[in-house]
Chains A and B, each alone.
Chain A
Amino acid sequence: MSADTPTNPSDGDAEAMTETELRDRVEELEDSVAQLKADAAAGQKKMTIIATKGTFDMAYPPLIPASTAAAFGWEVVVFHTFWGLDILHEEKSKNLQLSAVGNPNMPMPNALAALPGMDRMATRMMEKRIDDNGTATVEELIDVSLDQGVELQACQMTIELMDYDDDDFYDDVVTGVGAATALQHMTESDVQLLV
């Protein structure tokens, strides 16, 4: 080992390498860091969203970022499980309900909100707002997401649990997938969200 190598003499591993070897190693590492940076810059970003809720208001939080990320050219997977599956259910998605109970922002007391028909009324109010405001409907968001190449997955375990059929879902919805597939996508993703 040369005298000018600034390493701790007690460090056995460093002593085993000559200065030339160290320089070569540093160059090698610099090259691989540059390569990784280039790969990351050129590589497509990926996002996985797990959608677990099926109320009217909770259909938007997974679908808005999914369609927007797709517009950015990201590869997006939304894995719908439990009540989140209703968002992909062609019939049920058109009748998602907003709960009037348990939302402190609702302009009515819980005791009143619990009365029959209140959920429907709250849903109608929200639907009217969405219509007046020109906000996309759930159906439109699903269409545009699929159109942009978002992969909408329906959890197979939940399909069986809820006794749904593959034909109940929108065309192009991916069925026959489970938690393992979702996990694999999450591992490969830059962004993972649970909604």
Chain B
Amino acid sequence: MPVVKTKSAVDSLSEEAVLEVVATDPGSVSDIDGWASGTDGVDLLDQAEDGDEFKHYIQKTA
């Protein structure tokens, strides 16, 4: 559940901090993108595929 765990982790971040999410779920690419665009105060900076892992970089903007 990459989205749910990302949300929890973002909640504990301070403003401007960037979170790196490492997921094994290929669906996380679309899911985290959708979550970030539908959520205020977060900015999806980058998404990258690294072997079997999918990395997402999310900045807390507010």
Does B38 contact A68, Cβ atoms closer than 8 Å? no
Q: Encode contact with B along A54-80: 1 for CB under 8 Å, 0 otherwise.
A: 000000000010011011110000000
How distant is B51 from chain A, measured CB to nearest CB, in Å? 16
Instruction: Write the chain A residue with the least CB distance to B31.
Output: A68
Whether A148 lies near B39 (C-beta < 8 A) is no
A105-141 residues at the B interface, CB under 8 angstroms: 134, 136, 141
Asked whether A148 lies within 8 Å of B24 as measured between CB atoms, the reply is: no
A71 and B4 within 8 A (CB): yes
A73-B39, A134-B24 given; A68·B1 CB < 8 A:
yes
Chain B residues, CB < 8 A from A71: 3-4, 6-8, 35
Contact B8 A148 (CB under 8 A): yes
Tell me if A144 counts as interface (CB < 8 A to partner B). yes
Chain A residues touching B, range: 10 to 19
Complex Cα gap A194–B9 (Å)? 30
Q: Which of B3, B8, B39 has the most CB of A within 10 A?
A: B3
- Chain B residue, CB-CB nearest to A144: B4
Q: Is A188 part of the binding interface, using a Cβ–Cβ cutoff of 8 Å? A: no
Query: A137–B5 Cα gap in the complex (Å)?
Result: 14
In the bound assembly, the distance between CA atoms of A93 and B4 in angstroms comes to 21
CB contacts (< 8 Å) of A67 on chain B: these are 1, 4
| Contact across chains for A144 and B38 when beta carbons are under 8 A apart | no
